[in-house]
């Protein structure tokens, strides 16, 4: 249980009212209509502040005011809606908060109490049919009710209704109390009505078949929840901690930040941390999706859920268990279910009209024909002759059949099960999608805009050239460049400092440091202002870029001063033509030198761009703050359709807007920090290398946990396939319902067919179709057949 503060609930004393939050496991709450009943029940509890119901995980998170309600009140409200609570979040005896059950545990579907009642009911129906149609001589009257004789078969059917139909009727009662026109209310009403007028065969058949359908749907939903359980099982519950020089095994949730944890070969890493001793290759595929182990040593970060290969590691814990990268992935995946997509909203609106309309049609079907048709009439439909009877029994059964067809269950669950399947599949493969909205949007993207540094390139810059200008030396250029860059966090600064360290250059402290957004930095060194930045920064200050220097940094002789050496401008142009990024070092009046850095293109960048285009993306565009020459060189190497260079952060936002206006929906891919404005402005923002990065996880709609651009075409293919599955599920469920409804008045569809095909069959069908998404793997992106080919 977690204590929080209710920002809107100040008490009379002026203090914020304390609230409590509890997460309860409600496995039978497995569809949107179930969640609606629970929500209405909780809404009647005074003191409940907020609810988050997740039928796809079978959990209910409820925040309440302990002064006006208790946890028992919350549990009673849920169970009063007809759903058993089987678990909850709790605190450990020592006070450490334990991560509670976030997903309903695997259920014993086929051996549950409901299943046993169903099997007994099925056996009674089978025996009843045996006496009704085969052993007619033994089907003697054994009792009577209101002078109506009850034969052996009738008693067996009534027994089946009592055993298998009781749970259905009970749930229907709860639905009626919650004013929810759902499948339980429809089926419960149908069973009672059929029993009440003596249609025991129909009532018993409906009770048993519907119970079987419910069990199959429960089994299918349990399979859908397996993917979430797999995520939760990645991180071990216990950790080996060094305390007072001794190893102690404790719950992972009880380990504090700063403690040292030991992990032996083959063990899972239980928490996030930084290696302080040992070396090992670590399988980080649960986090990043990358199957190739990563070598870890002192100073490297490790993540909960990853697995050591052969080496031994000791690491210092950097985050509690509830805040590890894996825990945040699980939280975000589960939270993604609360974001209802446009398709889900449409389906809910449609179902709100569909169900009442078909119920009304069922009533009219049961009542009007017997009143309007005397005896029977013959009608011709598409050349086929049908006899339409006018007796009450026939039309009551047909009305009953339409009542079964009125259930929109398969239609309603078609989108959420697809979304959950797609999101959890992506999470297991190193792609975090923060909502079904973004899953759908990614599949509709027309243009993919890519940042250069850290996306198309590795983002690990290294100094390749240092050219001194005038009488300066290379050491002078590095000295002042490193002095200013020591205060900067830009990748170029890291490269400059690394080169200065390799050259053994000492650099002084600086004063009045200032970052000039998108251009460079300046600071005071030894009483004089120095600049390190783009050539444009110096040009704006009127610095002469035609001064000439020597590549070796030596002093210029008279011939070189006459023009045989390169000018600063020529040096810059030469490096940029080679695809290098150039910064100048100097004062407000002179350039001391030119520093060129280069970033290696990712090996899979060109292939990823090509695969995106093959999968259906109309254009792939590179947006970079780097210079024209570097942008051109990288663009040609990776094969993008277009590029825009020298863009400031706000100009990237404008570029995204331009692309949207000219080409359609835009997905922006960047590092999640420098590109945050552009990511936020795009239809879909995708952050690269988000493992362990709070900003990237919070900024982007989708996060590629590892630095693997190959995940990008996989993401697009998965999203596109998910959209296709959702459309297939919706139209298939609607189409089948429509065909069945058309066949009912003609006597072509009976109750059994309506339940088996229209309810049970379609629910299983849409769930099974959605589960196909969980089998898609990144490697399948290279195989067109995995997505049906194109």
Q: Give the residue numbers annotated as catalytic, written as ranges.
A: 451
CB count within 10 Å of CB 653 equals 20
C-alpha to C-alpha distance for 754 and 740, rounded to whole angstroms: 7
In the 8-state DSSP scheme, what is residue 471? T
Please state the φ and ψ torsions of residue 598, each to the nearest 5 degrees: -135, 150
554 DSSP 8-state letter = P
Instruction: Label residue 64 left, alpha or beta by phi (over 0 means left) and psi (-120 to 50 means alpha).
Output: beta
The secondary structure of 115-130 as a DSSP string is HHHHHHHHHHHHHHHH
8 A C-beta contact, residue 553 and residue 474: yes
Between CA 511 and CA 527 the distance in angstroms is 9
Give the Cα separation of 301 and 294 in Å (integer).
Answer: 11
Please tell me the distance from the alpha carbon of residue 570 to that of residue 234, in angstroms, as a whole number: 56
Q: d(Cα 235, Cα 398) in Å, to the nearest integer?
A: 54
Query: What is the helix (H) or strand (E) element at residue 152, kind and residue range?
Result: helix 152-177
CA gap 173, 169 in Å, rounded: 6
| Residue in this structure with the two tokens 């957004």, named with its chain if needed | 517
Pair of tokens at residue 183: 């499948």
**Paired strand residues for 567:** 548
Cβ-contact 668, 446 below 8 angstroms: no
Structure tokens at 142: 């054994």
Instruction: Give the separation between CA 179 and CA 657, rounded to whole angstroms.
Output: 46
* C-alpha span between 97 and 259 (Å, rounded): 17
Give residues with Cβ within 8 angstroms of 367, minimum separation 6.
Answer: 395, 399
CA distance 752 to 282: 55
- Pick from 446, 425, 445, 342: nearest CA to 730: 342
Selection from 635, 790, 623, 614 nearest residue 712 by Cα: 614
- What is the chain's alpha carbon radius of gyration, rounded to the nearest angstrom? 34
What is the spatial distance between Cα 107 and Cα 126, in angstroms, rounded to a whole number?
A: 27
Contact 335, 434 (CB under 8 A): yes
Residue 523 tokens, joined: 């600071």
**Cβ–Cβ < 8 Å for 527, 553:** no
Run of H or E including 143 = strand 141-145
HEC assignment per residue over 29-79: CCCHHHHHHHHHHHHCCCCEEEEEEECCCCEEEEEECCCCCCHHHHHHHHH
Q: Which backbone phi and psi does 494 adopt, to 5 degrees?
A: -60, -40
Percentages of the chain per state (helix, strand, coil), in multiples of 5: 50, 20, 30
State the Cα–Cα distance between residues 532 and 530, nearest whole angstrom: 7
Task: Using alpha carbons, list the distances in angstroms from residue 46 to 39, 75, 492.
Answer: 13, 13, 58
Write out the DSSP string of 629-687.
HHHHHHHHHHT-SEEE-S--HHHHHHHHHHHHHHHS-EEEEE-SSTTHHHHHHSSEEEE
**Residue 244, Cα to own-chain centre: how many angstroms?**
42
Strands 549-550, 581-587: pairing kind: unpaired
């Amino acid at each position: 249980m977690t204590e929080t503060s209710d920002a809107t609930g100040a008490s009379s004393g002026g203090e914020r009212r304390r609230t409590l939050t509890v997460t309860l496991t409600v496995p039978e709450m497995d569809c949107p209509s179930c969640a609606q009943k629970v929500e209405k029940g909780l809404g009647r509890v005074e003191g409940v502040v907020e609810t988050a119901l997740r039928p796809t995980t079978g959990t209910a998170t409820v925040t309440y005011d302990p002064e006006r309600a208790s946890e028992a009140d919350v549990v009673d409200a849920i169970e009063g809606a007809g759903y058993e609570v089987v678990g909850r979040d709790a605190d450990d005896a020592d006070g450490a908060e334990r991560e509670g059950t976030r997903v309903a545990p695997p259920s014993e579907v086929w051996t549950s109490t409901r299943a046993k009642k169903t099997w007994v009911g099925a056996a009674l129906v089978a025996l009843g049919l045996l006496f009704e149609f085969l052993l007619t001589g033994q089907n003697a009257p054994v009792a009577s009710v209101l002078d109506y004789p009850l034969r052996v078969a009738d008693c067996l059917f009534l027994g089946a209704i009592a055993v298998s139909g009781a749970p259905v009727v009970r749930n229907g009662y709860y639905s009626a109390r919650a004013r929810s026109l759902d499948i339980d209310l429809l089926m419960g009403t149908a069973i009672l009505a059929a029993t009440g007028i003596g249609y025991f065969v129909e009532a018993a058949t409906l009770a048993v078949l519907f119970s079987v359908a419910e069990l199959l749907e429960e089994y299918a939903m349990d399979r859908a929840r397996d993917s979430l359980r797999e995520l939760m099982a990645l991180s071990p519950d216990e950790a080996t901690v060094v305390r007072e020089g001794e190893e102690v095994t404790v719950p992972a949730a009880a380990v504090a930040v700063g403690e040292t944890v030991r992990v032996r070969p083959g063990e899972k890493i239980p928490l996030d941390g930084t290696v302080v001793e040992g070396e090992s290759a670590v399988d980080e595929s649960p986090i990043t999706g990358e199957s190739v182990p990563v070598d870890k040593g002192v100073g490297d970060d490790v993540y909960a859920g990853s697995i050591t290969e052969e080496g031994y590691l000791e690491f210092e814990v950097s985050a509690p268990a509830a805040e590890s990268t894996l825990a945040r992935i699980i939280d975000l995946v589960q939270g993604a279910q609360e974001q209802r997509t446009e398709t889900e909203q449409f389906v809910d609106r449609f179902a709100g009209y569909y169900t009442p309309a078909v119920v009304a049609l069922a009533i009219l079907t049961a009542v009007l024909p017997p009143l309007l048709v005397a005896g029977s009439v013959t009608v011709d439909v598409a050349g086929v002759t049908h006899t339409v009877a006018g007796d009450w029994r026939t039309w009551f059964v047909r009305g009953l059949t339409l009542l079964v067809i009125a259930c929109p269950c398969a239609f309603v669950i078609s989108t959420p099960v697809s979304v959950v399947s797609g999101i959890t599949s992506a999470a297991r493969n190193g792609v975090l999608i923060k909502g079904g909205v973004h899953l759908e949007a990614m599949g509709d993207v027309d243009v993919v805009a890519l940042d250069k540094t850290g996306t198309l390139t590795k983002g690990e810059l290294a100094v390749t050239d240092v050219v001194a200008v005038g009488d300066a030396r290379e050491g002078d250029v590095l000295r002042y460049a490193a002095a200013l860059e020591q205060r900067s966090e830009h990748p170029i600064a890291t490269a400059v400092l690394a080169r200065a360290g390799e050259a053994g250059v000492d650099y002084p402290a600086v004063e009045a440091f200032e970052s000039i957004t998108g251009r460079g930095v300046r600071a005071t060194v030894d009483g004089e202002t120095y600049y390190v930045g783009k050539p444009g920064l110096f040009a704006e200050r009127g610095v002469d870029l035609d001064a000439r220097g020597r590549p070796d940094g030596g002093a210029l002789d008279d011939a070189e001063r006459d023009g045989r050496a390169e000018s600063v401008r020529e040096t810059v142009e030469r490096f940029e033509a080679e695809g290098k990024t150039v910064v100048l070092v100097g004062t407000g009046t002179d350039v001391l030198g030119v520093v060129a850095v280069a970033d290696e293109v990712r090996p899979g960048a060109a292939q990823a761009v090509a695969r995106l285009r093959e999968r259906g993306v109309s254009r792939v565009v590179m947006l970079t703050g780097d210079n024209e020459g570097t942008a051109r060189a990288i663009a040609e190497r990776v094969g993008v359709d277009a590029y825009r260079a020298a863009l400031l952060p706000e100009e990237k936002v404008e570029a995204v807007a331009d692309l949207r206006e000219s080409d359609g929906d835009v997905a922006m891919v960047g590092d999640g920090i420098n590109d945050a404005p552009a990511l936020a402005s795009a239809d879909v923002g995708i952050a690269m290398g988000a493992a362990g990065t709070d900003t990237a996880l919070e900024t982007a709609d989708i996060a590629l946990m590892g630095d693997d651009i190959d995940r990008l075409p996989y993401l697009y293919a998965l999203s596109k396939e998910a959209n296709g599955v959702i459309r297939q599920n919706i139209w298939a469920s609607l189409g089948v319902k429509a065909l069945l409804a058309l066949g009912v008045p003609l006597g072509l569809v009976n109750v059994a067919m309506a339940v088996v095909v229209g309810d049970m069959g379609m629910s299983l069908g849409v769930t099974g179709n959605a589960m196909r998404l969980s089998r898609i793997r990144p490697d399948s992106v290279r195989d067109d057949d995995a997505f049906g080919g194109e």
